[in-house]
């Protein structure tokens, strides 16, 4: 009996694909898959060497699985429930060998469930046709033409910025750990497409179980290197297996992707408090390789994914604003699962050029040091330093979980700073911020939730709004020149009137249940403060610096910046 | 042979650290800008920072105004294998950056820590029993500091709450300064107790905002340090406060107390930080206004005493 969810569909293996020398490392993945699973199980068993800790792990696993399965009403769940109840009953009477063997079986089953797959045929298919499918969704009238030649249109809609050549170079010398911001389930697809287009290697990545619920998406995810992360499984053993799996994969040189935000940003803000649990295995992988005498550098590459419209914006902000929001950690019924929202989403960008800007930041080593074009780590004075010195004491490299956890925490700070610096301000975010600042100004002394009830009652004369938009944009451009943030080309180049008209048109079609904002008799009416908050949150850290000099603007900006201290 | 301990800074604190380390059998390399000689055979004085690269543990005893500049110079000679621990009581800028953050930014060292608690140069150099706390998230830093300094006369405790230790150490200095001020003004034990405990509560609030743990402020780095200061361990901040209460200017008071003006200016930094975070820091805000000459002592005392007394 399989204890964990069934595996997604795979294509039958008619003949073995033999990778060519120029193929990316991930093309070898399937030939190493069994080895990787064995290594994960070996490490887990090494960790649970003592009998007491094995018993504790078995009890913990059984307890959490029983709690989870009791909520599911199916025959499969009932059988699994019986299994775990049996473990709980028997564990006290098992011999030491019996406990070890039971744990080994569970660990092997969990590891096999987690392990991903990479099918070069699926990769080939996806890279040819997925852009066409996405582009067709954006322009349904040209469906046939788009299906055959979709890349061209998508190229224009998803733009890429940053040191791509350098990243390509580094991926030949070491293991790249890509760590983007996370605001939509579209992120994985957008990143995968951009990596392909820019000639960067596909990556191994952990995808939430909720992404596997749609059979088509699940098929692609599973066959393109994704491993399954089921957040509903709370057992300590499962978390350790995920970490061990990620570490083994990185040690073997598979470029990987993690979303350190942990989940999609509910508030729309750039993530600040990062969970580097899995990404942190990059530090351990580097140390383990060094301790074995293998010099394979690890490079962390931050990236921001900046959307003009966020597909799931309405659900995300609603969830953020709910007091019990945290409980809904896994959302399975949002806009991502509704195809009509996809079509509507992609159809609304005619006025704004880019749907999405993916900006890669400067790579750094696992200890936060920048690296040069050759991949050497640099000290603050520009000197080349050996990253191995960070995992060594008196010349001997070692693996030390507490030390590496401390490095990982420090890395979280470096990454959070990089996210802020590499943010690309999109037109919708700029317009939302200026309107929201006016809303805050017009409602002095109120708390956030009271302000959010001001639906449709704040009117801003169009001329004033355009002037403020222009001034705020100019201050953002000055911040960009100071290296603190980036702005999209559309924001930098176009007039305030064009920006405002483009944004209103974009919002009007997609967020159609209730317009975000609309013009009436020459004034703008702020209709949906929740969505304005969502889009403007991206600018929250910069609010005081982009506000006008007048006192009312400054007070409002400080309030907006201070909103991050609230739950 | 074991690696030497490096001490950066030839001032009284640096020399005392070197002596304390030599006392427990360590070889010490002491760097100072000016050539020095110490009688202890196991202490080698140098003016060349590059010589410190031979050490693993580097104790950084540089006054906070010079931290950045010396860190830049020192950084040329270190790498990721060095363990860098400072004893500064300062914080940098209105964001209240800690000295360990500055060291990690301006040198290649990441394994950093802060040594704090009731440590004063005079007691450290002598054999008087005392204690200290090392804050670091790195177990090897804790181990190295305990080996380098711990012994029969110095108990070295540890915590992973580095930022808490640094905030407590700096902010206790501010509370000590206000206690010195109050003592000079003739305030009685009751008023001093209120000032000390409310000052510590304020320090804890600010520390938590920066990510510190409240219990660190109740331990050796916070309450322990403050008790030592009030008990008369010769802390310059107490003398600084007394001198200010006598009407001396900041510069004159600092000179008399052998302290740095920055210790007093910290009140303004804390007030600005707390205002942005919308947290009340009446003591720091009052002190900052006092330093700027915007308020008299009588007015400040009145303002503090008439605040509504709430649940502790």
Q: Are residues B145 and B198 in the same domain?
A: no
Q: Are residues B155 and B9 in the same domain?
A: yes
Could you tell me what percent of chain A has a pLDDT over 90? 52
Contact B110 A368 (CB under 8 A): yes
Is residue B176, in this structure, part of any structural domain at all? Answer: yes
- Does B80 touch chain A if contact means CB atoms closer than 8 Å? yes
Contact A565 B277 (CB under 8 A): yes
**Spatial separation of the C-alpha atoms in residues B99 and B81, rounded to whole Å:** 19
**Spatial separation of the C-alpha atoms in residues A200 and A192, rounded to whole Å:** 9
pLDDT over 80 (residue A275): no
pLDDT, residue A328, reads 43
Is residue B311, in this structure, part of any structural domain at all? Answer: no
Number of domains comprising chain B: 2
Identify which of A381, A411, A180 has the alpha carbon closest to the alpha carbon of residue A286.
A411
Residues in B touching A410 (Cβ below 8 Å)? 104, 110
- Does B137 touch chain A if contact means CB atoms closer than 8 Å? yes
* Residue that terminates a domain, selected from B136, B160, B184: B160
Contact B81 A393 (CB under 8 A): yes
- Does A139 touch chain B if contact means CB atoms closer than 8 Å? no
pLDDT tens-digit series, residues B79-96: 999 999 999 999 999 899
pLDDT over 80 (residue A125): no
Q: Which residue of A has its CA nearest to B211?
A: A273
Q: Are residues B77 and B217 in the same domain?
A: no
pLDDT over 90 (residue B210): yes
Could you tell me what percent of chain B has a pLDDT over 90? 69
Give the torsion sign (CA, A554, A559, A560, A564): positive
Looking at residues A124-131, what average pLDDT do you find? 72
Contact A386 B76 (CB under 8 A): no
Is residue B310, in this structure, part of any structural domain at all? Answer: no
> Nearest CA of chain A to the CA of B5: how many Å?
13
- Does B305 touch chain A if contact means CB atoms closer than 8 Å? no
Residues in B touching A412 (Cβ below 8 Å)? none
pLDDT, residue A13, reads 66
- pLDDT band of residue A31 (cuts 50, 70, 90) is confident
Residues in B touching A387 (Cβ below 8 Å)? 80
Q: Are residues B117 and B187 in the same domain?
A: no
Q: Answer with the residue of higher pLDDT: B72 or A268.
A: B72
| Domain residue limits at B196 | 163-305
Contact A410 B75 (CB under 8 A): no
Identify which of A238, A230, A239 has the alpha carbon closest to the alpha carbon of residue A330.
A230
3-state per-residue secondary structure call for B158-178: EECCHHHHHHHHHHHHHHHHH
Contact A390 B81 (CB under 8 A): yes
- Does B72 touch chain A if contact means CB atoms closer than 8 Å? yes
- Among B76, B106, B138, whose Cβ lies nearest the Cβ of A403? B138
Looking at residues A242-255, what average pLDDT do you find? 95
Contact B295, B286 (CB under 8 A): yes
Looking at residues B63-73, what average pLDDT do you find? 93
Residues in A touching B277 (Cβ below 8 Å)? 562, 565
Q: Which of A382, A384, A386, A393 to mutate to test the interface with B (most CBs of B within 10 A)?
A: A393
B112, β-bridge pairs: B84
- pLDDT band of residue A326 (cuts 50, 70, 90) is very low
CA–centroid distance for B51 within its chain = 26
* Residue that terminates a domain, selected from B160, B191, B226: B160
Residues in A touching B80 (Cβ below 8 Å)? 367, 385-392
Least confident of A320-329, A346-355, A481-490: A320-329
pLDDT, residue A139, reads 43
> Nearest CA of chain B to the CA of A402: how many Å?
7
pLDDT, residue A148, reads 43
Q: Answer with the residue of higher pLDDT: A4 or B29.
A: B29
Q: Which residue of A has its CA nearest to B73?
A: A381
pLDDT over 50 (residue A327): no
- pLDDT band of residue A130 (cuts 50, 70, 90) is low
- Does B76 touch chain A if contact means CB atoms closer than 8 Å? yes
Which residues are CB-contacts of A92 (< 8 A; sequence separation ≥ 6)? A55
Contact B276 A562 (CB under 8 A): yes
pLDDT, residue A35, reads 94
Q: Are residues B177 and B299 in the same domain?
A: yes
SS3 call for A262? coil
- Does B152 touch chain A if contact means CB atoms closer than 8 Å? no
Q: Are residues B210 and B289 in the same domain?
A: yes
Is residue B211, in this structure, part of any structural domain at all? Answer: yes
- Does B69 touch chain A if contact means CB atoms closer than 8 Å? no
Is residue B259, in this structure, part of any structural domain at all? Answer: yes
Q: Residue for token digits 């994960």?
A: A40
> Nearest CA of chain B to the CA of A173: how many Å?
21
Q: Answer with the residue of higher pLDDT: A390 or B185.
A: A390
pLDDT tens-digit series, residues A258-268: 888 877 888 88
- Among A367, A393, A409, whose Cβ lies nearest the Cβ of B140? A393
pLDDT, residue A150, reads 45
Could you tell me what percent of chain B has a pLDDT over 70? 100
CATH code of the domain containing B58: 3.40.50.720
pLDDT, residue A113, reads 87
Six-digit token string for A162: 């940053």
- pLDDT band of residue A324 (cuts 50, 70, 90) is very low
Q: Are residues B119 and B204 in the same domain?
A: no
pLDDT over 80 (residue A146): no
pLDDT, residue A352, reads 53
Looking at residues B267-272, what average pLDDT do you find? 94
CB within 8 Å of chain B, chain A residues 329-388: 367-369, 379-381, 383, 385-388
Our CA angle for B77, B78, B84, nearest 5°, is 130
Q: Answer with the residue of higher pLDDT: B260 or B48.
A: B48
Q: Are residues B138 and B183 in the same domain?
A: no
Contact B136, B114 (CB under 8 A): yes
Q: What are phi and psi of A370, to 5 degrees?
A: -65, 160
Q: Are residues B49 and B80 in the same domain?
A: yes
- Among B75, B81, B277, whose Cβ lies nearest the Cβ of A392? B81
Contact A242, A204 (CB under 8 A): no
Q: Are residues B41 and B184 in the same domain?
A: no
- pLDDT band of residue B268 (cuts 50, 70, 90) is very high
Six-digit token string for A370: 């920048």
- Does B307 touch chain A if contact means CB atoms closer than 8 Å? no
CATH code of the domain containing B286: 1.10.1040.10
Is residue B312, in this structure, part of any structural domain at all? Answer: no
> Nearest CA of chain B to the CA of A214: how many Å?
41
pLDDT, residue A566, reads 41
Our CA angle for B169, B172, B177, nearest 5°, is 130
Q: Are residues B249 and B284 in the same domain?
A: yes
- Does A286 touch chain B if contact means CB atoms closer than 8 Å? no
**CB pairs A-B closer than 8 Å:** 68
pLDDT, residue A214, reads 67
Is residue B241, in this structure, part of any structural domain at all? Answer: yes
Return mean pLDDT, chain B: 91
pLDDT over 50 (residue A459): yes
* Residue that terminates a domain, selected from B160, B189, B210: B160
Q: Are residues B40 and B62 in the same domain?
A: yes
pLDDT over 70 (residue B1): no
pLDDT over 60 (residue A323): no
Six-digit token string for B176: 């000590």
Return mean pLDDT, chain A: 84
> Nearest CA of chain B to the CA of A389: how many Å?
5
Six-digit token string for A310: 């966020």
Our CA angle for B193, B196, B197, nearest 5°, is 85
Instruction: Work out the burial of residue B188: count CB atoms within 10 Å of its CB; fewer than 13 is exposed, 13-18 middle, 19 or more buried.
Output: exposed
């Amino acid at each position: 009996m399989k204890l964990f969810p069934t595996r997604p569909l795979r294509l039958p293996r008619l003949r073995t694909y033999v990778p060519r020398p120029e193929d990316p490392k991930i093309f070898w993945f399937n030939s190493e898959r069994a080895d990787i699973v064995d290594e994960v199980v070996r490490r887990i068993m090494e960790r649970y060497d003592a009998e007491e800790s094995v018993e504790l792990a078995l009890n913990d696993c059984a307890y959490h699985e029983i709690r989870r399965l009791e909520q599911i009403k199916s025959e499969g769940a009932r059988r699994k429930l019986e299994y775990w109840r049996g473990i709980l009953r028997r564990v006290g009477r098992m011999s030491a060998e019996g406990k070890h063997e039971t744990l080994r079986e569970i660990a092997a089953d969990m590891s096999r469930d987690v392990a991903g797959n990479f099918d070069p045929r699926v990769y080939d298919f996806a890279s040819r046709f997925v852009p066409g499918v996405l582009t067709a969704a954006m322009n349904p009238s040209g469906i046939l033409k788009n299906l055959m030649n979709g890349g061209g249109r998508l190229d224009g809609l998803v733009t890429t910025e940053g040191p791509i050549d350098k990243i390509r170079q580094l991926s030949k010398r070491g293991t790249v750990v890509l760590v983007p911001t996370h605001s939509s389930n579209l992120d994985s697809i957008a990143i995968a497409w951009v990596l392909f287009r820019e000639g960067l290697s596909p990556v191994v990545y952990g995808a939430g179980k909720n992404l596997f619920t749609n059979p088509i998406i699940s098929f692609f995810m599973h066959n393109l290197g994704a491993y399954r992360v089921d957040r509903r499984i709370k057992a300590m053993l499962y978390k350790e297996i995920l970490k061990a799996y990620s570490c083994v994969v990185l040690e073997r040189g598979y470029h990987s992707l993690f979303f350190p935000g942990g989940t999609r940003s509910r508030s729309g803000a750039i993530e600040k408090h990062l969970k580097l649990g899995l990404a942190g295995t990059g530090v351990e992988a580097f140390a383990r390789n060094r301790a074995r005498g293998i010099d394979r550098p690890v490079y962390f590459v931050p990236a921001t994914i900046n959307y003009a419209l966020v597909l799931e914006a309405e659900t995300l902000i609603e969830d953020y604003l709910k007091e019990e929001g945290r409980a809904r950690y896994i959302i399975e019924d949002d806009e991502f699962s509704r195809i009509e929202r996809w079509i509507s989403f992609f159809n609304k960008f005619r006025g704004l050029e880019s749907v999405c800007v993916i900006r890669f930041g400067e790579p750094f080593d696992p200890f936060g040091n920048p690296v040069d074009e050759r991949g050497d780590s640099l000290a603050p004075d520009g000197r080349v330093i050996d990253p191995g010195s960070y995992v060594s004491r008196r010349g001997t490299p070692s693996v030390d979980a507490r030390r590496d956890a401390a490095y990982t925490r420090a890395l979280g700070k470096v990454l959070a700073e990089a996210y802020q610096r590499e943010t690309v301000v999109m037109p919708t975010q700029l317009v939302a911020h200026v309107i929201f600042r006016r809303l805050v100004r017009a409602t002095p002394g109120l708390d956030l939730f009271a302000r959010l009830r001001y639906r449709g009652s704040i009117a801003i004369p169009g001329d004033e709004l355009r002037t403020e938009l222009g001034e705020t944009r100019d201050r953002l451009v000055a911040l960009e020149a100071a290296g603190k943030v980036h702005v999209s080309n559309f924001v930098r180049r176009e007039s305030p009137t064009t920006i405002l008209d483009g944004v209103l048109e974009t919002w009007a079609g997609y967020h159609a249940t209730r317009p975000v904002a609309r013009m009436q008799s020459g004034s703008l009416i702020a209709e949906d403060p929740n969505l304005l908050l969502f889009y403007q949150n991206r600018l929250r850290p910069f609010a005081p610096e982009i506000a006008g000099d007048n006192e009312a603007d400054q007070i409002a900006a400080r309030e907006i910046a201070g909103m991050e201290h609230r739950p | 042979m074991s690696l030497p301990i490096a001490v950066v800074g030839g001032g009284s604190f640096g020399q005392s650290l070197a002596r304390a380390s030599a006392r427990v059998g360590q070889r010490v390399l002491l760097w100072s800008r000016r050539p020095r000689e110490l009688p202890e055979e196991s202490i080698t004085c140098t003016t060349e920072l590059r010589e410190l690269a031979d050490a693993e543990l580097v104790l950084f005893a540089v006054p906070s105004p010079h931290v950045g500049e010396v860190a830049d110079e020192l950084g040329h000679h270190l790498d990721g294998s060095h363990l860098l621990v400072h004893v500064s009581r300062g914080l940098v800028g209105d964001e209240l950056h800690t000295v360990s953050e500055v060291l990690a930014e301006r040198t290649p060292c990441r394994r950093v820590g802060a040594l704090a608690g009731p440590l004063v140069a005079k007691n450290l150099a002598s054999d008087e029993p005392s204690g200290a706390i090392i804050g670091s998230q790195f177990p090897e830093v804790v181990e190295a500091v305990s080996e380098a300094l711990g012994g029969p006369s110095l108990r070295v405790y540890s915590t992973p709450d580095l930022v808490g230790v640094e905030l407590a150490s700096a902010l206790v200095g501010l509370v000590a300064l206000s206690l010195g001020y109050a003592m000079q003004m003739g305030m009685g034990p009751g008023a001093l107790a209120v000032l000390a405990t409310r000052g510590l509560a304020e320090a804890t609030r600010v520390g938590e905002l920066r990510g510190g743990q409240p219990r660190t402020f109740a331990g050796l780095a916070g309450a322990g340090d403050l008790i030592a200061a009030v008990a008369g361990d010769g802390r310059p901040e107490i003398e600084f406060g007394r001198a200010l209460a006598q009407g001396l200017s900041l510069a004159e008071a600092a000179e008399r107390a052998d302290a740095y003006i920055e210790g007093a200016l910290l009140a303004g930094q804390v007030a600005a930080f707390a205002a942005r975070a919308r947290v009340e820091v009446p003591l720091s805000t009052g002190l900052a206004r006092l330093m700027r000459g915007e308020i008299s002592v009588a007015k400040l005392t009145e303002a503090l005493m008439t605040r509504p007394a709430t649940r502790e």
